[in-house]
Structure 1
Amino acid sequence: MTGKHVVVTGAGTGIGRAVARRLARDGASLTLLARDRGRLEAVAATLDVATHVVSCDITDRTRVDRAFAGASEALGPIHALVAASGIGGPNGDGPGDRFDEIVRVNLGGTYSCARASVRHLAPGPDARHLVVISSILARIAVPAYTGYSASKAGLLGLVRSLAAELAPGNVQVNAICPGWVDTDMAWQGLDALAEAIGGTREDAYRRAMSEVPMGRMSQPDDIAGTVAWLLSPDARGVTGQAIDQNGGAWTG
């Protein structure tokens, strides 16, 4: 990845942070984008590569456009986007229904970032890449997660359509669908499960892992490794795909 400029959204925490660290080890220059500038700066301070930090609400398309233009000015044309920004949690009928918010961030925000990145891509003929972090909830049914599931399933349609649209220019577009990953968002979900079953966090973990044949959560670094592979020449010709990385919890 030496000499390549990668934009990582959601880079302040979880999978996005792990991706940034992995790609930095591989030599990429990085634009780190998320809402919380303090978290981004903390990540950037640990990286021994050129970095550009941008605080941005990805639901604001004008700000997204400015952010990607600024990234290109700071570190040069973009070779890849890794779209890891997103919000989680349940939603339900009533005045507090978060459906619109979740879809606006996870699907609409990712779309805006994808379009903005394409406008600032490095010239070919070498492959350029868009990698989108979706979820196992794009595949399976979970009660009370209609917004999250719909947004993550929508990302798979977005990836397929963009892959077909951009393939003639040698731009590869793929998704990763993680299952349980050891992140703050996952543990918040387990805490909610614990409350629902009237048990402890450990009870919730055991119940969740009972549905994972490998019996454990993935680590953020596991997902980062798959991202690194997708950005490598070894993945030449892989586009429009959704890679399921979930310990065997869904094998369809």
Structure 2
Amino acid sequence: MKGRTVLITGAGSGIGAVCAQRLARDGAQLVLVGRRREPLEDVAARTGGLVLCGDAASSTDWARFIPAIRERFGGLDGVIANAGGHGLGSASETSDEDWQAAMRANLDSAFYTARASLPLLVQQRGALVLMASIAALAAGEGVCGYTTAKHALLGLTRSLARDYGPQGVRVNAICPGWVRTPMADAEMQPLMERHGEDLEAAYARVTAEVPLRRPAKPEEIASVCRFLLSDEASIITGANLVADGGSSIVDVPTLAFGRI
């Protein structure tokens, strides 16, 4: 990755911030995109790079981001479309505003990022990674907007890979399961309150049936991103790489037999 320029959305915290740290150690030049300037500046203090504060789901913001990237680096070798958000509630509990917010945070942000950065990626024959989820493969309870948007991300991945592969651009998705990030820590709070347990016990509860029996570290997902951006993945495009500790391979209807 030495000397390559990589753009990361949602770069101020969680997986995005750890991706930035990993790629900086490998010698990459970074473009850090996010809505909150202070976290981005904190990451940039450790990794260097260009901070661009704005909304990844805004074509207006991309209209000012791209010239800044061209001026600073000339092009892009890689993009990690990591920005995302929630989409809680069943369909009947999801208002118009909730639905639109879920699509904007999880799908529109990836589409606008891809559309804006593709000319630069074509120029460099670069690679694009979309951050999906195992919610792109199966449905959890009461997360209609999130599940739908993440499923759509796989369709977007395949469409982009099909259309831009002939121009040398590779496009892949990553489907993590639970990852220990501040967002996931917050999602553990209801379990902690309900069962009177600490954070470690809550994570143990949600990964009890996961073959590896633990959540991922953000550094592990960053390593997958780095691989997909690198020449080591030069023949891989249109794929969704599952990084979930094995949770998506579990045959749920047979779980009861393991408790006999």
User: TM-score under structure 2 normalisation?
Assistant: 0.89
> 1:3: which partner in 2?
3
> 2:158: which partner in 1?
160
Matches within 5 A, 1:52-91: 52-88=50-86, 90-91=88-89
Matches within 5 A, 1:1-252: 1-47=1-47, 49=48, 51-88=49-86, 90-92=88-90, 93=93, 95=95, 98-121=98-121, 123-124=123-124, 127-195=125-193, 197-202=194-199, 203-251=201-249
> 2:257: which partner in 1?
none
Query: Which one is further off, 241-250 or 101-110?
Result: 101-110
Paired AA for residue 98 in structure 1: D
Three-state SS of the structure 1 residue aligned to 2:117 is helix
Q: Distance in 2 between matches of 1:42 and 1:71?
A: 20
Deviation at 1:198, TM superposition (A): 4.7
Paired AA for residue 8 in structure 1: I
Paired AA for residue 63 in structure 1: D
Paired AA for residue 213 in structure 1: P
Paired AA for residue 69 in structure 1: P
Q: Distance in 1 between matches of 2:35 and 2:116?
A: 17
Tell me if the contact between 2:86 and 2:105 (Cα under 8 Å) persists in the aligned partners.
Answer: no
Tell me if the contact between 1:2 and 1:27 (Cα under 8 Å) persists in the aligned partners.
Answer: yes
In structure 2, relative to structure 1, the CA distance for the partners of 1:75 and 1:90 (3 Å cut) is same
Paired AA for residue 16 in structure 1: G
Deviation at 1:118, TM superposition (A): 0.6
Q: Distance in 2 between matches of 1:20 and 1:44?
A: 9
Paired AA for residue 115 in structure 1: R
Moved runs in structure 1, 4+ residues, more than 4 A? 94-97
User: TM-score under structure 1 normalisation?
Assistant: 0.92
Query: Which one is further off, 66-75 or 172-181?
Result: 66-75
Tell me if the contact between 2:203 and 2:215 (Cα under 8 Å) persists in the aligned partners.
Answer: no
Q: Unpaired runs of 5+ in structure 2?
A: 251-260
Deviation at 1:106, TM superposition (A): 0.9
Bigger radius of gyration: 2
Q: Unpaired runs of 5+ in structure 1?
A: none
Q: Distance in 1 between matches of 2:97 and 2:186?
A: 18
Cα root mean square deviation, aligned: 1.8
In structure 2, relative to structure 1, the CA distance for the partners of 1:193 and 1:72 (3 Å cut) is farther
Three-state SS of the structure 1 residue aligned to 2:247 is coil
Tell me if the contact between 1:78 and 1:120 (Cα under 8 Å) persists in the aligned partners.
Answer: yes
Q: Distance in 1 between matches of 2:249 and 2:70?
A: 39
Matched pairs, number: 247
Q: Deviations over 1:109-156 (max 9, x none)?
A: 1100001001223625xx410001111111122111111111111111
The sequence identity of aligned pairs, in percent, is 39
Higher helix share: 2
Deviation at 1:89, TM superposition (A): 5.3
Paired AA for residue 146 in structure 2: Y
